[in-house]
Structures are given as C-alpha cells and as structure tokens.
Chain A
C-alpha cells in the first residue's frame, strides 16, 4: 500500500468523541461570565487608580481638536484623555500625571478631585440593572465590564453591523469629577475625518481614521468614549475596513439614556492587599485539612508546612512555613493559576534532585472554568540552601513534557527525576584552565541539566587560583545572569541559565580580544544558526573577568587581527550577516564593518559563508535551494561524487540562470561541518567518471570541445583544480567526447541520490512536487538495460517545458536517477529491438520517433524518423516500425 493510502486509512480512525447536539448551540449564550472576586485586566486603555469628584462642563458641538491634550506624545502623536475637554480639570489633572511630574493622587488633589482606587468585574445584567436599562440596543456582545466604585465603567466590546461587519472597540464611560490614569494616543488628528450625528438627542462625535476610529459623546455627568479598533483601511488583526456608515450605525446602536445614568454600584468589599512571604497572618480557617504537616526541613529544622486554601485576597492555594502556626516565616513561591483549585492531590518532602537535600513536591488538581475540564499542576520547590526553596521551572517543564497529565503522580515524578541522576541539581559541570598574566586560573562552570534531557546550562562561573594560599576559595564568582545583564541579545540567561547541548560545550578558553590574554567563551543558547556566545574578558587592572560582548558564530582571525562574526539572517536564512570587530586600546571589541551577503549564484567565492558550525547536511542545502530557486530556472540540479576521495560524497550543484552564468558548486563535509569546496563554470557541460575514477568535465558548444579534469583542493582548502586535458574543434563526423560514465543529475527536490528510496518513494515525491491539478502524472515500467529489473519512467504533462519522462533505475532496492527525456506530446512505445519515444503533434503535423538507449555514457536518445507537415492519416510510424504502446498508469494507481 502506498504512503498516501496508508496515511488516509490510519487517520480515518482518528475521530472526535464530541457528540454533536444542535440544541446546545441554539441554547448557547454569548455572555462570558467571570466568577466574582476575580480581577481581570481587560482594556489596555484603563487602569483606574484615583478619581475625585468635581463637576465639569461640556456642552454643544465639539471636535477632536478640543479634546486632544496640549502636549503631544513624541512617538505617538496627539493624546486624548477620554475624560473630557482638554481644558477640563480632569484632562488637566491627567495631563500633569502623564507628564510624570505628579502622582495620580497628587494630580487629582491639585484639581480638587477625589480618589477611587478599586474596581471589580461586573456582569452585564448587573450593569443593566445599575444603569436602569441596557446600554446597547442590539448587535453587541454582552460582555462583562469592570466597574469602579464611583460608577465609572469600561468594557471590551464587539458590534456586528447590519452587513455583518465585526467592529471591535474599547468602551469607557467615565464619571465626571473623576480621573482615570489612562489616555489614548491617536496619532495625527488630521488623519481623522470628523463629523457628528444626533443619536437619540445626544450629539455624538465620530472620527474615522486609517486603523482606528472614535465615538465620543458628552453625556452631561459623564463622558463616553469608544476606541474603535478598526478604520478605513482595516488590518488582519481586528478586521475591517469600516466606513462612515458603520460608525454611524455603531453610534446609534447605543442607548444613551442608560449610558448617561450615574449610579454608585454595589461592589464586593475591596479585597485586602496581599502580603507575601514572611509575616503573613495565617487564619486556621483557611488551612487545607490533611495537607498541613510538621516537618524537618533544611535550614528550618522542625517547622510547620501549611497549605492555605484560596482566600478573598488570593484566589489560589499558598504554601507557608511557620514555626508557631500563626504567622508565616517563609512562603513558597506563590502562583496564581487562572483556574479553580479543586484539590491538593499530594505534598511530598523528599530529595527529588539527588543532591542530598529535601525538596518539596506539590500536585494540585484544577478545573478550567471555561471548558470544565480538569487538569493537574505540578510544582517542584527545590531546596536551594540557606532555607530557600526555589520553584524549579526547568523541572516543572520537564515533568509536564514527559508525563501525561492523567498519569501525573508522585511516583511518576519521582521516577522521572531519579532518571536524571543528580543532573537536575546545580553542580560543577566543566572546568577549564585559563592562563592570565603570571598565573593560570581554573574556571568551574556550575550548572545543571535543564528541563530537556539534552539541554544543559550554566548559571555561575567560579574562578580559582590553584597557586594561591587558598586554592579552594574562589577569587571571583560570576553569576552569569547578572554579568551579562541587559546587554544580551537573547537567550535563557535571563532565567538564570545558559543553554547548550552538552556539559562540554558550556565554556571554553579563548583570547577573543587578541590581547595575548586568555578569556572565557560561554555558550549562550541553542539556535538553529551559528552559536551565540557570551565573552568574558580578563581585566588586567581589576584582576578579574568581566562580561565584554555577545557574538554569534565568532572566530578569531589572527592574520587580520579581527574577530569575525557570521550568522544566517534574512527571510529563510538567505542572507549571511558578517561583522568584523577589532579590539580598541581598552581591549574592547568594536564593530568596524558589516556585510550582508546574500548567497546566490552570483556570490563571489570569497564571500561564500564558511562552515557554519551548526549541523547542516546536503539535504538542507538542496531543500533550501529548491525553495529559493524559481521552478522555471533551468539550472536546479545536483549530483554526488566523492571528489576528494575521503569516502564521503561531495554535493555537486548546478546553479545559474542560463548557460552563460551556469556554475557547478561543490559542497563538502569538513570537520563535521558543511563548507564550499569551490565552483567551476558549467555552461554547456556534462560530467563523466573515467576509468580511473576521476571526474571529467566535457564542455561542448558550437563544435568546440574542452575536456577538463576536476580535482579537489587540499583538505579544508577552497578552489576546484581544473586541468585541461584536451581542446579541439569537432569535424562534421565527430561526436563530443564521452570519456567515461556520465554522472546523472537530478532535480534539487529529488532526494534519491541522498536517501534510500524505492520506486514507490519516487512516485510519492512526484505526487508531492507536481500536486497542482495542472499537472498530469503517469508512469511506465520498462527494462531498459535488460538486466531483468524494470526502469521507472515517470511522465509529467502540463503543457510546459517540464513535460517529459524522468527515468530511474533501481539496484539493491535503491532507486537512482538515470536522466530525463523531453516528452511533450510524447508516448513510450516498444519494438522488437527496444524502447522508443514517439512524439506526435497533430497541430503542425510533426512526427518524430526516437530510440531510447542506455549506454556507458548514460541515458541517450537517437532520432530514428522525423517528419513534418503530415496529415493525421499519414502519421503511421507506430505501424511502420511495428511498435506498440508501453502501458502507463496514473500515478495514483499503485
């Protein structure tokens, strides 16, 4: 059975267990309910901190220009406070707050405003009751809002217009006399088209912008703003575009009577501020029965471990250590899981990391309030010494990735962590000697295995002077996350650890700034590119190492005195960024030059990237080339040949746009990395392997022929050696030289020269690469070389130059390409003496018959008969030569 059929059969058994029931949908509500007590951050424009009452006045027509703040944001243009006119106390207070000169409370005080500090979520039905009616007419999602204690409220909303356009917005109805610490940057006011409409007796200002729009209304005791997240252009996040008509429809869909009402809501009591850590008052009412223990813990001795249920101020479990059971002495890292805690499934005190210290494992069962599904959460508090228990995210991540959630229990966690040995605990993973002036220091990299079994990381470097009076006392301790600090490009060191594949890679000695003094190279993090490393250089004056620079794919070039950094960049990695650094007088590396090299057919050899250092294989090269090279480019083929005789084939790739610029580029594997061995001009050329196993290039054009032997450079060198063997002009009876077995080339995407593939795999490849309906694929089998095993002829028909037969042979179950036969309007047929290809084109009466042969040079064709301007009844080559059609099958028929 072929792969596709098997795949379909296999996945036909994969089905959802969901029982569809139409009634569920008909009864569905769109409201989203969040349990009371949860504070949800909803709108980006809202962060209410303080509001104090004073009446502001605003009547009559107004425009954006009356609302924008006097001072613009330097990056984002005009600013609206959304709380009134620019000269209102509210806006002026917010303006001073935004300027950074005053706190919000101070600003409110200055303008006689009161403070409101608390808000909570508010159900739409409750909002309706508070406002004396629904604030929307129809077409709006009835979302929850956030309500402040003075009646200011806001919500994220969505309106579906009559023509089905979805219009998302953020609504704020702010009570006058109060200020909210919010503003909206709208860019250039002149980008907006403004006009006003009368909506139920309320004058509403509408402003249509490119990507955002506004609906603003002065409601007397309050001010309404809708920040509409769409405009005349629309975008692929919020949809659109929207029109003036949409905005007017939106404006009229609001119930301004209800929106205008200012009433004080009945909010739950403000939860007390959460106190974390030591000194938390513990209420036995919230102790989780059965999950509180008297334990002996490292750094604490005998102490109570207390599991606390969710409280009004913290809606999740918390874990405390307390001596007296009344006040906490320590709190394990609190986490708020946005789900409902159902149970504390397990608490275990044991050495999970094989370091001889007791850690704490907690398993918690939660319920997802949105889907109702249950899940288990794991927390591993690793004993970090000195009474500290650190929540080990790496181990949590490892457990979550390795143990299915429904199999997550203490035993499974214990077993998994035990399999790591002590690797999950920080320890010295690598030591190096680093010679500095006058002595040789020893540097230990302290780290651990990260969450993934094949990922390690260092957190600290300990520097020792073995020759000192205290050889075991570090002369310097470098915490990498602090040392690298804010200057790092990326990577996980911000989480405390670097990232590499093996302990041996963690650190290495190197003189990175060419000052004759050894420095430390720290493997930064894992990327699919050249490796980024942090470099710590030796400061001779201070007598210590300090972080200097982060470089990616760096190497020291002693000849030039430069450090060269190189990494793939650009879309699809088609570019190489090569930067050149030189040390200054202080030993700091300074960037002196940067080149962006786009690798392509015209890239000079000296600009071709060196071995990347990252694992790259021939297949990757071919697939990248396949992706980058247009399909109608004639030079997109490759072959393989062991040019340097090391037992590993080189990859020989044709590149170029025409015979004039065609080149053959040779890739080789050198010291575990891929590099370019060189390239030669390859227009009008073929390759042969002669009787001595040498690679011979035959150039033939317009009767001129040059035969060249190609040999490899020295190992690691660059430049294919070309030795001309002969040159001649062919006479009328001469044929071009065939000095051996022709090397068959095949398309970049045909991996049969790299991978073991049988005919079925080959047909799969064709189905993949010619999957569009414009192509018709079929295949035939014929024993061309009469070895008892059929060759495969895959026919591609589309009416383009790609039409033809791709021919493969198989030996030992492995298919390899033999060549390609042009095949527009051509069919295979057989005669008594072998295989033929017959091209018939009724449109111009052409009939050409070829003999298809396979000789020592490879796949060839020889014209047997060629006639033109034939009438259809005259096209009788089949009958004349006694030929019969070779059966063909649709490619799906196998």
Chain B
C-alpha cells in the first residue's frame, strides 16, 4: 500500500470506523480514539489488500477488535446517553434524531449488525463473516433490533 492509497483509504473510511466504533461503544471519545488507532494500524499494516473492499472490511474488523479490547479495559469511558449523543450530531430532521436516539438505545449486539446491514449494505452472510457469528444469528439480531426499534419509535411518536 503506497502513500496515496493509504491517504485515500484513510479519508474514505475514517467515518466508517467512527460509526462502527460509536455503535459499539456509544462513546464519541472512544470512537475518535478508535479512528486514530485504526488508521495507525492501517498505516503500519504489512497486510496485502486485494482491493478497496478488502481494506474497508479489514478496517471494520480491526475497529471491532479494538473496541472489544477497550471494553475490557478497566478504565473505559462510560457510554453517553443516546439523547446526549444526538445533540452532538447535526441532524436535519426530527425523524433522524428520533431514529438515532432509538438505535443508540439498543444493546450493542444489535447496533453493530444494524449498521453493517443498513448503512454499509453488507449482506447477512457478509455480516456473519465480519462478526464471526452465524447468518441466522445475524438475522435474529436484525429482526429483534427492528422489532425493538419499532416499539421505540412508536412510543416516541405518541
């Protein structure tokens, strides 16, 4: 990976890393740390990447591993409540705020597959590979997440 490639990947995917980490940790500070850490690891990586999609997937995996390690650290930052998180993002519509707050209020094991499915548009099979869980586990989590989200959004709209 040459300098130009690294720069392109860093600029293209730093937000991806941030979003994955934020979905995992609910902590903007930890998510920002993850961005720097993952970019550094990409820079130092000697892995040979087949294509840009390979890089994207590698970065997501490294982000998740980093977040897992961080969550086991004795001194991790406490998660920010969803309502507070929403205040820090320049949403353009009420429904975006409502959805974001509802999503970030879900347990972590639902947020990450949801993000990978809806935003990164990975298939269930691909998400299973990334998260090292079965496809059916992915669909189960996505189904449950959607049911929970429906409930949250309906309550919010009452």
Q: Hey, which bits of chain A sit against chain B, CB under 8 A?
A: 1, 3-4, 6-18, 20, 22, 25, 28, 30, 160, 164, 166, 337-339, 371, 373, 375, 377, 400-401, 403-405, 572, 619, 623-624, 626-628, 749, 751, 755-757, 761, 764-765, 768-769, 771-773
- Please state if A16 and B123 are interface contacts (CB–CB under 8 Å): no
Q: Which residues of B contact A769 (CB under 8 A)?
A: 124, 139
- Check B15 against A15 for contact (C-beta < 8 Å): yes
Over the window 91-108 of chain B, the binary record of Cβ atoms lying under 8 Å from chain A Cβ atoms (1 yes, 0 no) is 110011001100100000
**Contact between chains at B139 and A626 (CB < 8 Å):** yes
The distance in angstroms between the C-alpha atoms of A12 and B90, with both chains bound, is: 10
Closest to A375 in B: B77
Please provide the 8 A-B residue pairs with the shortest distance between their CB atoms, ordered closest to farther. Answer: A16-B18, A627-B136, A164-B46, A7-B118, A10-B96, A400-B78, A771-B123, A25-B43
Residues of B within 8 A of A624 (CB): 140
Once bound together, how far apart are the Cα atoms of A371 and B33, in whole Å? Answer: 7
**Contact (Cβ within 8 A) A14 B29:** no
Residues A16 and B46 in contact, CB atoms below 8 Å apart: no
Chain A residues whose C-beta falls within 8 Å of the C-beta of B7 in the assembled complex: 20, 22
Which A residues are in CB contact (< 8 Å) with B57?
none
Report if B72 contacts A (CB, 8 A). Answer: no
Which residues of the partner chain B approach A20 to less than 8 Å between Cβ atoms? 7, 10-11, 14, 39
Given A4-B118, A6-B96, A16-B14; A749-B147 close (CB under 8 Å): no
A401 to B55, alpha carbons, bound, how many Å? 34
B13-27 Cβ-contact flags toward A at 8 Å (1 or 0): 011011100100000
* A761 CB contact (under 8 Å) in B10, B15, B115, B150: B150
Known: A749-B143, A772-B124. A16 touches B17 (CB 8 A): yes
Assuming A22-B3, A749-B143, is B150 touching A771 (CB within 8 A)?
A: no
Per the bound structure, the CA–CA distance linking A338 and B147 in Å amounts to 41
A residues in contact with B150, CB < 8 Å: 755-757, 761
Give me 29 A-to-B residue pairs in the complex whose CB atoms sit less than 8 angstroms apart, sorted by A's number: A7-B99, A7-B114, A7-B119, A11-B100, A11-B118, A13-B91, A16-B32, A16-B35, A20-B7, A20-B10, A338-B74, A339-B75, A371-B36, A401-B78, A404-B81, A404-B84, A405-B29, A572-B137, A619-B144, A623-B140, A624-B140, A626-B139, A749-B139, A751-B147, A761-B150, A765-B146, A768-B142, A772-B123, A773-B123
Supplied contacts A20-B11, A572-B137, A628-B136, 10 more A-B pairs, CB within 8 Å: A10-B91, A20-B7, A22-B7, A164-B46, A627-B134, A627-B137, A749-B139, A765-B146, A768-B143, A769-B139
Task: Assess the A164–B100 pair: CB atoms within 8 A.
Answer: no
**Is B40 positioned at the interface, with any CB of A under 8 Å from its CB?**
yes
Q: What residues of chain B lie closer than 8 Å to A7, measured between beta carbons?
A: 99, 103, 114, 118-119
Most chain-A Cβ atoms within 10 A of its Cβ — which of B10, B114, B146? Answer: B146
For A13, give its contact among B31, B77, B81, B90 (CB under 8 Å): B90
Question: How does the 8 Å CB contact mask read for B126-157 relative to A, with 1 for contact and 0 for none?
Answer: 00000000101101101110110110000000
Q: A13 and B96: CB pair below 8 A?
A: yes
Q: Whole-angstrom distance from the CB of A28 to the nearest CB of chain B?
A: 7
Q: If the complex has contacts A11-B119, A14-B18, A15-B15, are A164 and B47 also in contact, measured as CB distance less than 8 A?
A: yes
Nearest A residue to B81 via CB reads: A404
Interface string of B63-89 (1 = CB under 8 A from A): 000000000001101111100100001
Q: Are B125 and A772 in contact (CB under 8 A)?
A: yes
Residues of B within 8 A of A17 (CB): 32
With most chain A CB atoms within 10 A of its CB, the pick from B118, B124, B149 is B118
Closest to A16 in B: B18
Residues from chain A with a CB closer than 8 A to the CB of B36 are 18, 371
What is the CB-to-nearest-CB distance from B137 to chain A, in angstroms, rounded to a whole number? 6
Q: How far is the CB of B77 from chain A (nearest CB, A)?
A: 6
Whether B91 contacts A18 by the Cβ 8 Å rule is no
- B33–A373 contact, CB under 8 A? yes
Is the CB of B58 closer than 8 A to any CB of chain A?
no
> Is the C-beta of B158 less than 8 angstroms from some C-beta in chain A?
no
Question: Are A10 and B46 neighbours in the complex by a CB distance under 8 Å?
Answer: no
Which B residues touch A8, using CB under 8 A?
118-119
| B 31-62 binary contact with A (CB < 8 Å = 1; else 0) | 11101100110011011100000000000000
**Bound Cα distance A373, B47 (Å):** 30
Contacts of A626 in B (CB 8 A): 136, 139-140
Nearest CB on A from B62, distance (A): 14
Contact A13 B89 (CB under 8 A): yes
**Could you say which residues of chain B place their CB within 8 Å of the CB of A339?**
75
* Among candidates B18, B43, B46, residue contacting A28 with C-beta atoms closer than 8 Å: B43
Cross-chain contact A16 with B136 (CB below 8 angstroms): no
> Which residue of A14, A28, A400, A765 is within 8 Å of B40 (Cβ)?
A28
A residues in contact with B14, CB < 8 Å? 16, 18, 20
> Is there contact, CB below 8 Å, between B75 and A338?
yes
Q: Which residue of A lies closest to B42 (CB)?
A: A25
Quote the shortest CB–CB distance from A633 to chain B (angstroms). Answer: 12
B43 touches A14 (CB 8 A): no
* Residues on A with beta carbons closer than 8 Å to the beta carbon of B75: 337-339, 375, 377
Specify which of A3, A623, A761 is in contact with B144 (CB 8 Å cutoff). Answer: A623
Residues of B near A772 (CB, < 8 A) are 123-125
Residues on B with C-beta less than 8 A from A4 are: 118
Shortest CB–CB separation between residue B48 and chain A, in angstroms?
7
B28 CB to nearest chain A CB (Å) = 8
- Taking a contact as CB atoms under 8 Å apart, the answer to whether B79 and A401 are in contact is yes
Q: Bound complex: CA of A191 vs CA of B130, how far in Å?
A: 34
Tell me which of A10, A13, A755, A773 contacts B147 (CB under 8 A): A755
A3 contacts B118, C-beta separation under 8 Å: yes
Shortest Cβ distance from B36 into A: residue: A18
**Of A338, A403, A405, A768, which is in contact with the most chain B CB atoms at under 10 Å from its CB?**
A768
Tell me the complex Cα distance, A18–B143, Å: 33
Give Cα A623 to B137, complex, Å.
Answer: 9
List of A residues within 8 angstroms of B91 by Cβ: 10, 13
Residues of B within 8 A of A751 (CB): 143, 147
A768: contacting residue among B32, B35, B134, B146, CB under 8 A? B146
The residues of B that contact A160 with a CB separation of less than 8 Å are 46
